[in-house]
A and B are shown apart, each in its own frame.
Chain A
Amino acid sequence: MTEKADIAVAKFLEHTDAEAASFFDACVRCGECAEACHFFLSTKDPHFTPTYKLEPMRRAYARDKAPFSGLKKAIGLAPKPVTEEELVEWGPLVYDSCNMCGRCTLVCPMGIDIAGTIRKMREGYAAAGLAPEGLERSVEFVKKTSSPMGVTLKALEAQIKHQEKECGIPIEIDKQGADYMAIFSSMEIMGYPEVLGAYAKLFKKAGVSWTISSVAYEATNVGVQIGDGPLAKEIVKRVVDAAEALEVKHVISPECGHAYGAIRWAGPNMMGRQFKFEVVHIIELLDKLRREGKIPPGKKDGRKITLHDPCQIIRRGGLLKEPRSLLDDSCDNFVEMKYAGLTNFCCGGGGGVSANPRAKDLQTKAFSRKMGQLDAIKDLEAIVVPCGNCRTVFEDGLDEYESDYEVLGLSELVAQTLAE
């Protein structure tokens, strides 16, 4: 084995805990996971079968860590060592054709969490320097500016100023003791800054205090996407330190899938402790405020609107009912797409795929599944996409497929339809 293969395999083994081992040992190679994967369905390439993507890590486990591996090695029945060439060959399967969306777990008769295991496998790739260049560039930006798109505080302040002017409500930075501290994805700050104005409008109406930290405004966790544990921890720590220094009661995770999973579910485990504040997703918070009557709905949007279910918020985040409840209050003509809810298709750009130029063509092909879902709804006018990353993927995908459905964020829609 080469040095890179050694590093990757050592990380594979380190991250093969009892959970991953149970997955490797339970897989019956039935191939049903392929039928759930949008990359396989849109290309029919068997290499995109989810369980196949795990093969190098499974083999490392079978050779060096599995029960009876010593015995099998002694009698020459252990699998061959994983080579650097194989790891390079598998790179596109691990990074370009898996959004870690978890749809395959639902179809798997053994309930194998392939998405979570790919996340662990990426640790080996990142440590060995085998992650795609595009994602490595995001890492460099994060190290320099804390944002994968290089969004500086100056840029954020400019967007805040503009939104304050638009909505006529001041937005306070670094407000000590606020109820809520909001964090955003770079994509929201630069691409959809109206979300800042929407927060200002909604929280003013609800009578809750909120703020944005000048040192921890970025929610995107590129460490989770690329599989760099120490970096993922550093990004979470930045938010935790800022929130605890400002003594806020809650941190609001934005409309961004992986950011939510990173701070809400993985965050305390990375930090090795529970936080002194509660992490709440913006959709969860808006639904709660609405149920409490603090942000009553006004005139509904009359267009025919459907909802995309971002995987990390819905399927792997558990917020299934909240966006639907908000949409029922905000739209006259909300319709579900086929496969809506837990089994909805991913947009094709999650899990770092949209930040990986090498995967662009594949992402566009995978989006064809989503196009099929949208086009099946007669007279559809708009899609609510409560994830900044999915939203960009939708806009690119709709452009590629020459479609003109409008794409909306959920917070903006709730703010627009708020009672006067």
Chain B
Amino acid sequence: MSALQFIEGPLFYFAAAVFLLGAFWRVFGIIKIGRKKDISPPKGSAVGGFIKGNLRHFVPRGLFARRTWLHVLGGYSFHLGLFVLFFFGAFHIKFIDQYLGLSWQALPRWGFLIAAEIAFAGLIVLWVRRISDPVMRLITHKSDHIGTWLTFLVMLTGCFALQQSHDMLKLVHMLFVDIWLIYFPFGRLMHAFTFFLSRGNSGATYGRKGINL
């Protein structure tokens, strides 16, 4: 078995299993802590609030966005760029098809490159802000840097592997993908799954009180 076969084969299966089971365990672990049932007479719907809270926080409030525009711009650029890269990159679709038997229309190469540039720009803006802003420097944990750098390296090696000119480039990309997947459930990257609980919990509280956020 070659190194690439190992990284794309057993190591990838292991990494994917850690990712799926770990992420599930972390979300389940939070939910199973439980919370006391709120018995105050409600004025509105907690379920409606849970959903609304999740949707409302996607859209920054105008008066705050004026103060936090750099973060909003960086955040949206990175996340949307990454979403497009991951789900509409031709090689990713081929990879998913290989394992799950599902495929869909890929972006043309120029579209992939634009999405990559937007994602890189967003990630770099977020990281530069993290190391330069006094507030960010104070509140940043190691996990924030590790998550950022791993994601950056996955994206960067992915771009190098784009040409498929050398197996080594693909190997390095897949190795970082495996590391990223294994790290994911244990660090800050988990916000991709925990955000709905956080937004939903606050939204439910507001919803019960009949507050129209």
Chain A residues proximal to chain B, CB less than 8 Å: 16-19, 21-23, 25-32, 34-36, 40, 46-47, 49, 51-52, 65-68, 72, 105-113, 116, 264-269, 272-274, 278, 315-318, 320, 339, 342-343
Query: Are the C-beta atoms of B57 and A108 separated by less than 8 Å?
Result: yes
B100 at the interface (CB under 8 A from A): no
Q: Choose from A112, A266, A339 the contact partner of B40 (Cβ within 8 Å).
A: A266
Query: Are the C-beta atoms of B33 and A21 separated by less than 8 Å?
Result: yes
With A25-B30, A26-B198, A67-B25 in contact, do A343 and B136 touch (Cβ < 8 Å)? no
Query: Are the C-beta atoms of B209 and A268 separated by less than 8 Å?
Result: no
Query: Are the C-beta atoms of B30 and A113 separated by less than 8 Å?
Result: no
Q: Which of A25, A273, A278 has the most CB of B within 10 A?
A: A25
In angstroms, Cα B206 to Cα A46, docked, is 28
In angstroms, Cα B186 to Cα A342, docked, is 36
Min C-beta distance of B175 to chain A, whole Å: 22
B103 at the interface (CB under 8 A from A): no
Task: Given contacts A30-B136, A110-B199, list 8 more A-B pairs with CB under 8 A.
Answer: A18-B32, A23-B201, A25-B30, A26-B191, A26-B197, A31-B71, A265-B209, A343-B63
Q: Which of A21, A35, A72, A267 has the most CB of B within 10 A?
A: A21
B66 to A, closest residue via Cβ: A35
In angstroms, Cα B53 to Cα A218, docked, is 35
In angstroms, Cα B198 to Cα A30, docked, is 15
In angstroms, Cα B62 to Cα A106, docked, is 11
Min C-beta distance of B188 to chain A, whole Å: 6
Inter-chain residue pair count (beta carbon < 8 A): 163
| Chain B residues with a Cβ closer than 8 Å to the other chain, count | 61
With A65-B33, A268-B41 in contact, do A46 and B135 touch (Cβ < 8 Å)? yes
Query: Are the C-beta atoms of A36 and B195 separated by less than 8 Å?
Result: no
Residues of B within 8 A of A28 (CB): 144, 188, 191
In angstroms, Cα B64 to Cα A109, docked, is 11
In angstroms, Cα B56 to Cα A109, docked, is 9
Query: Are the C-beta atoms of B209 and A32 separated by less than 8 Å?
Result: no
B77 at the interface (CB under 8 A from A): no
A113 to B, closest residue via Cβ: B202
In angstroms, Cα B213 to Cα A329, docked, is 25
Chain B 28-40, CB within 8 Å of chain A: the 1/0 string? 1111111110111
In angstroms, Cα B60 to Cα A264, docked, is 30
B143 to A, closest residue via Cβ: A29
B65 to A, closest residue via Cβ: A107
Residues of B within 8 A of A26 (CB): 191, 194-195, 197-199
In angstroms, Cα B202 to Cα A315, docked, is 13
Residues of A within 8 A of B22 (CB): 68
Residues of B within 8 A of A268 (CB): 39-41
Query: Are the C-beta atoms of A49 and B135 separated by less than 8 Å?
Result: yes
In angstroms, Cα B133 to Cα A32, docked, is 11
B94 at the interface (CB under 8 A from A): no
In the assembled complex, 19 residue pairs joining A and B whose CB atoms fall closer than 8 Å, in A order, are A16-B33, A17-B33, A18-B35, A25-B197, A26-B191, A26-B194, A26-B198, A29-B144, A35-B67, A107-B64, A109-B195, A111-B57, A112-B198, A268-B41, A269-B40, A272-B39, A273-B39, A274-B41, A316-B209
Query: Are the C-beta atoms of A110 and B138 separated by less than 8 Å?
Result: no
The 3 A-B pairs with the shortest beta carbon distances in the complex, nearest first, are A67-B29, A26-B198, A111-B199
Q: Choose from A21, A30, A49 the contact partner of B71 (Cβ within 8 Å).
A: A30
Residues of B within 8 A of A320 (CB): 211-212
Chain B 123-153, CB within 8 Å of chain A: the 1/0 string? 0000000100111111111001000000000
Min C-beta distance of A267 to chain B, whole Å: 7
Query: Are the C-beta atoms of B133 and A19 separated by less than 8 Å?
Result: no
Query: Are the C-beta atoms of A17 and B34 separated by less than 8 Å?
Result: yes
Residues of A within 8 A of B30 (CB): 18, 21-22, 25, 67
Residues 174-196 of B at the A interface (beta carbon under 8 Å): 185-186, 188, 190-191, 194-195
Query: Are the C-beta atoms of A49 and B39 separated by less than 8 Å?
Result: no
Query: Are the C-beta atoms of A25 and B26 separated by less than 8 Å?
Result: yes
Query: Are the C-beta atoms of A29 and B64 separated by less than 8 Å?
Result: no
Min C-beta distance of A44 to chain B, whole Å: 8
Residues of B within 8 A of A49 (CB): 135, 138-139
Query: Are the C-beta atoms of B186 and A46 separated by less than 8 Å?
Result: no
Residues of B within 8 A of A343 (CB): 61, 63-64
Query: Are the C-beta atoms of B203 and A29 separated by less than 8 Å?
Result: no
Residues of B within 8 A of A106 (CB): 61, 64, 213
Min C-beta distance of B52 to chain A, whole Å: 10
Residues of B within 8 A of A107 (CB): 60-61, 64, 68
Query: Are the C-beta atoms of A17 and B35 separated by less than 8 Å?
Result: yes
In angstroms, Cα B53 to Cα A40, docked, is 25
B109 at the interface (CB under 8 A from A): no
Query: Are the C-beta atoms of A23 and B205 separated by less than 8 Å?
Result: no
In angstroms, Cα B30 to Cα A318, docked, is 28
Residues 62-112 of B at the A interface (beta carbon under 8 Å): 63-64, 67-68, 71, 75
